[in-house]
Amino acid sequence: MTSENLNELTDEELILEFQKNNTEKAFEILVQRYKNPLINFVFRFLGDYEACVDVVQDTMVKVFRYKDNYSSVAKFSTWIYTIAGNLAKTEYQRRKRRRFFSISSYGEEHETYDIPDEQYRPDIITDSGIKDEIIQKALQKVSAAYREAVILRDVQDLSYEEIAEIIGVNVGTVKSRINRGRAQLQKMLKHIYKE
Amino acid sequence: MMLSKRSFGQDDEKKFEPVIKTLKELRKVQAPENFETGLFRKINYGDVPEKEKSRKVFFIPLRWASSAGLAAAAVIILFVINVNSEEQENPFSVEPKVREDMIVNYSDEDLKPAEKKADEMPLSQKSTEKSEADKPAVESRSSENLAFQNYSDSELILGSGTDTFYSPEAIVGASPAAPVSYSISKSGLNFRRVQLDEKEKAELNKMREKLLRSVSEIEEK
């Protein structure tokens, strides 16, 4: 099969091609298709670019090595997002353990704190880059379970069903997590909305 | 039921509209240019490059550095406190230590040959021996087996041409008024003895004569 033909295939067809004929070109196309969405998802979850690149590369390595574990019943995107999400969560836990001092360690697991950040007052927020940074910082303060759901829904534009499959919970729980996450974010970003 | 659920979801979407909008407007993060290079290196040569592996191995002990430092500090503090808290004993309330190196044990039997040889002793030595005999308290102490260093008969010879020491019993008995002396012959000292054969003896005699001759010559001059 030529590379042009491969480009026309769906994700599921590409992974099947890679599974059956070990066509590395099919894998390369999948990498091209998913590297940026996954980088975006993992970066928003971890907040560290270098770590997120590592996590996404590890995700691709897992796809390469365990391609036979993929079942055609599920969507390829769901499968690859599940792998990336699990690796991102592992990395997040590892980084959390490493920290000497953590504010959240003083409270309950899902408890968050609204810390006024005097550095970025609404009157001085002009640059979209700074705004982006504030949102990213606020996202990091949202508990991991809610954050994952919010990113998958509002940043990655995935459906509730897909998110439920990726996270491994039912749709109701997904919606609840998304709403709680959004509420926390809105509380933290109220200074921006007042603008 | 379905309608109420949907309306609940739609209400939420409206409620959090600004947040949703903000999140959707976030800039999209792109993968680095060398993403594929790194990926295929990981696939071909393992998950972690060698350089990073060695760095990870090197930094593993640093994880424990803080706790190890804390433990070391605790040990040092404990040691310092322990040294400082050493109780100062009142020297007047403590029994004096017996200086074993200064005690010479001699029993009644050891003294017998000394009595026999008393006639051969010089007058000054005799008087000291008498004064020693006049101290029954000291004798009793030695017979109580405090802490003794055994001397043989030959080591405790009371005769002329020997070195004189203060008696240890006098020190133990704390009677500085009458220090008792006794003598030890050269045989009692720890000299190295060399056995010379006839030839060596003759050579030694020759050397001695030569030395005496030279000394006398110098004296004459």
Residue A143 has pLDDT above 50, yes or no: yes
Q: Please give the pLDDT value at position B154.
A: 43
Q: Is A192 on the interface with B (CB under 8 A)?
A: yes
Q: Please report which confidence band the pLDDT of residue A83 belongs to, taking 50, 70 and 90 as the band edges.
A: very high
Residue A36 has pLDDT above 90, yes or no: yes
Contact call for B16 and A128, based on CB within 8 A: no
Rounded distance between C-alpha atoms, residue B117 and residue B115, angstroms: 5
The overall longest dimension of chain A from CA atoms, in Å, is 59
Q: Is A182 on the interface with B (CB under 8 A)?
A: yes
Average pLDDT, chain B: 66
Q: Please give the pLDDT value at position B170.
A: 43
If contacts are CB pairs under 8 Å, which of residues 104-123 in chain A contact chain B?
none
Q: Is A88 on the interface with B (CB under 8 A)?
A: no
Q: Please give the pLDDT value at position B210.
A: 93
CATH class of segment(s) A1-107: mainly alpha
Q: Please give the pLDDT value at position A131.
A: 81
Q: Is A60 on the interface with B (CB under 8 A)?
A: yes
Among A2-6, A63-67, B52-56, B126-130, which range has the highest average pLDDT?
Answer: A63-67
Which residue of chain A comes nearest to B16, CA vs CA?
A182
Question: Higher pLDDT residue, A44 or B49?
Answer: A44
Q: Please give the pLDDT value at position B2.
A: 42
User: In this prediction, what percent of chain A has a pLDDT beyond 70?
Assistant: 81
Contact call for B35 and A35, based on CB within 8 A: yes
Q: For the ranges A31-45, B144-158, B173-187, which has the lowest average pLDDT? A: B144-158
Among A6-15, A51-60, A127-136, which range has the highest average pLDDT?
Answer: A51-60
| Contact between B149 and B106 (Cβ < 8 Å) | no
Question: Higher pLDDT residue, B127 or A80?
Answer: A80
Q: Please give the pLDDT value at position B35.
A: 92
Q: Please report which confidence band the pLDDT of residue B105 belongs to, taking 50, 70 and 90 as the band edges.
A: low
Using an 8 Å CB-CB cutoff, list chain A residues near B38: 53, 57
Q: Is B5 on the interface with A (CB under 8 A)?
A: no
Q: What is this model's ipTM?
A: 0.77
Q: Is A170 on the interface with B (CB under 8 A)?
A: no
Nearest by Cα to B16 from A181, A137, A133:
A181
CATH 2.40.50.140, domain A120-195, yes or no: no
Smallest CA–CA distance, residue B24 to chain A, in Å, is 5
| Contact between A44 and A151 (Cβ < 8 Å) | yes
Q: Please give the pLDDT value at position A26.
A: 92
Contact call for B27 and A128, based on CB within 8 A: yes
Residue B8 has pLDDT above 60, yes or no: no
Smallest CA–CA distance, residue A72 to chain B, in Å, is 24
Smallest CA–CA distance, residue A167 to chain B, in Å, is 20
Mean pLDDT of B193-219: 89
Residue B136 has pLDDT above 90, yes or no: no
Q: Please give the pLDDT value at position B13.
A: 76
Tokens 């109780």: give the residue: B87
Residue B146 has pLDDT above 80, yes or no: no
> CB contacts < 8 Å between A and B, how many?
75
Q: For the ranges A66-70, A189-193, B54-58, B170-174, which has the lowest average pLDDT? A: B170-174
Question: Higher pLDDT residue, B71 or B136?
Answer: B71
Nearest by Cα to A79 from A180, A168, A186, A172:
A168
If contacts are CB pairs under 8 Å, which of residues 8-67 in chain B contact chain A?
9, 12, 16, 18-20, 22-24, 26-32, 35-36, 38-39, 42-43, 47
Q: Please give the pLDDT value at position A167.
A: 92
Residue B150 has pLDDT above 90, yes or no: no
Q: Is B79 on the interface with A (CB under 8 A)?
A: no
Strand partners, B163: B184
Residue B135 has pLDDT above 50, yes or no: no
Of B16, B23, B28, the CB nearest to A36: B28
Which residue of chain B comes nearest to A133, CA vs CA?
B26
Contact call for A128 and B26, based on CB within 8 A: no
What are φ and ψ of residue A103, in 5° steps? -65, -45
Q: Please give the pLDDT value at position B173.
A: 45
User: In this prediction, what percent of chain A has a pLDDT beyond 90?
Assistant: 58
Smallest CA–CA distance, residue B32 to chain A, in Å, is 8
Q: What is the pLDDT of residues A98-140, one digit of tens each?
A: 765 455 444 444 555 444 444 444 454 556 678 888 889 999 9
Q: What is the pLDDT of residues B37-46, one digit of tens each?
A: 999 998 888 7
Contact call for B39 and A61, based on CB within 8 A: yes
Of B22, B27, B47, the CB nearest to A189: B22
Q: Please give the pLDDT value at position A95.
A: 86
Q: Please give the pLDDT value at position A195.
A: 55
Mean pLDDT of A166-180: 93
Using an 8 Å CB-CB cutoff, list chain A residues near B32: 53
| Contact between B190 and B145 (Cβ < 8 Å) | no
Of B18, B19, B43, the CB nearest to A64: B43
Question: Higher pLDDT residue, B135 or A47?
Answer: A47
Q: Please give the pLDDT value at position A6.
A: 83
Using an 8 Å CB-CB cutoff, list chain A residues near B33: none
